[in-house]
Structure 1
Amino acid sequence: MNEFQSLAGRLLVAMPGISDPRFEHAVILVCAHRPDHAMGLRLDTPAPGVSLKKVLSKLDAPAPADADSRAVLIGGPVERERGFVLHTDDWLIEDASVPFGAGLAMTGTREALLAMADPSHGPRRSVLLLGYAGWGDGQLEDELGENVWLTAEADPELIFDPDHESKWARALAGLGVDPAQLSGQSGRA
């Protein structure tokens, strides 16, 4: 039996031909991974018509000057109405923030959202995501065994970069893979 190795803090990069169209060209940051479940946030899909400024204005919260240009991302298909702030671990809320990987954390509170608007007291880098991707007992391991995903180091420059359209190709390039050379077919030897 193989010893379990957590992928928390690593990227999942979708292979071409993934059977679920919701994850085509996806780049997902794994935030939690245990033998019985995994949770991640998709980093490359802006929510249409939603900006950080719009979310903050609904909360009657002040917005930083760049809030209108900061996209809110669709973190995944599960609980799409629930918000998560993915941020650097230089800012944490005790009993609410979940640190993982090297220098990253996730917080799902209003305080985290308000901290995004405060460059002097909030996290150095952050992004708001709606929803998450989730896997049940052994599901992610099965998908990895079927070559549905490649795994990569989590690069903060890629994670927080506002150029969402090219993240998949850049994540593959970081692995030394040319997307044009990948086959949409998977199989087992």
Structure 2
Amino acid sequence: MEHYNKPHAASSADLSQQLLLAMPGMVSGNLANTVIYLCEHTEHGALGLVINRPTDLTVGNLLQRIDLDLSLEIGPIQEAPVFFGGPVQTDRGFVLHAPVGEYSSSIRLGELALTTSRDILQEVAQGHGPSQILITLGYAGWGAGQLESEMAQNAWLNMGASNEILFSVPPEMRYEASLAQLGINSSMLTGDAGHA
């Protein structure tokens, strides 16, 4: 395949634990203008979480909806937004967090973990959850070879993820902040892919 020999060969590499930024005009629908933390990328496909699309649901609302009593110690996390993580399994919660901790259904992602079990939400409700946390409903998924194909078409820009962008930067600023780390301003991007 021709694109594997080009200098931009990162598109064929494992992109796990990186951020994907949707390129204007290249990614449409509910993933347009998104920043996605790619949790897993293998030859079988990829799974990521949109980190810049807050919903109207707060963490406190979510915990109450699943019948968890909130402790007085829950703190500001109660008002944090729950994110639209992607169009797949939007009825299921995904928790990206640090530190990793010990939960019944977690995938370790370096210093972060992705947890899908209720036990982490019980800890959050009691005010004892992880210090850094991002909760989504749903995820973004790609089949075998699909993300590689989209990368070859310049649909996504990839970069290393930082905890600051994942957990500290306000959601509406995560796209611009990610671009800024690459030395790019969104006004420099166009919807037209350059072909020589």
TM-score by length of 2: 0.87
Corresponding residue number in structure 2 for 1:161: 168
Runs of 4+ in structure 1 off by over 4 angstroms are 1-4
The structure-2 alpha-carbon separation of the partners of 1:88 and 1:67, relative to structure 1 and needing over 3 Å to count, comes to: closer
Unaligned runs of 5+ in 1: none
Partner of residue 17, structure 1: 25
Task: Give 1:21 shift.
Answer: 2.5
Match of 2:115 in 1: 107
Structure 1 equivalent of residue 145 of structure 2: 138
Question: Secondary structure of the residue that 1:143 maps to in structure 2?
Answer: helix
Matches within 5 A, 1:113-124: 113-120=121-128, 122-124=129-131
What is the SS of the residue equivalent to 2:172? coil
In 1, the alpha carbon distance for the partners of 2:169 and 2:118 equals 22
Would you say the 8 A contact 1:90–1:124 is kept in 2?
no
Count of paired positions = 185
Give 1:72's aligned amino acid. V
Distance in 2, matches of 1:153 and 1:30, equals 10
Structure 2 counterpart SS, 1:165: helix
Decide whether the 8 Å contact of 1:72 with 1:129 is kept in 2.
yes
SS at 1:129 equivalent:
strand
Corresponding position of 1:44: 52
Q: How far is 1:67 from its partner?
A: 3.7
Structure (1 or 2) with the greater helix fraction: 2
1:79 aligns with 2:86: no
- Does 58-67 or 79-88 show the bigger shift? 58-67
Distance 1:178 1:156, change over 3 A: same
Do 2:27 and 2:33's aligned partners in 1 also have CA atoms closer than 8 Å?
Answer: no
Check if 1:98 corresponds to 2:145: no
**Which among 5, 21, 26 is matched to residue 34 of structure 2?**
26
**Residue 56 of structure 1 pairs with residue 66 of structure 2:** no
Query: Does the CA contact (< 8 Å) of 1:15 and 1:147 recur in 2?
Result: yes
Q: Pick one of 186, 189, 194 that aligns with 1:182.
A: 189
Match of 1:65 in 2: 75
Taking the aligned partners of 2:78 and 2:97, their CA distance within structure 1 comes to: 18
Question: 1:98 Cα deviation (Å)?
Answer: 0.2
In 1, distance between residues paired with 2:88 and 2:68? 26
Deviation of residue 15 (structure 1)? 0.9
CA distance in 2, matches of 1:177, 1:86: 27
TM-score normalised per structure 1? 0.90
Gaps of 5+ in 2: none
- What is the CA distance between 1:19 and its match in structure 2? 3.7
TM-superposed deviation, 1:106:
0.3
Q: 1:18 to 1:115 in 2, by over 3 A?
A: farther
| Amino acid of the structure 1 residue aligned with 2:106 | S
Q: Deviations over 1:167-187 (max 9, x none)?
A: 101111111111101111125
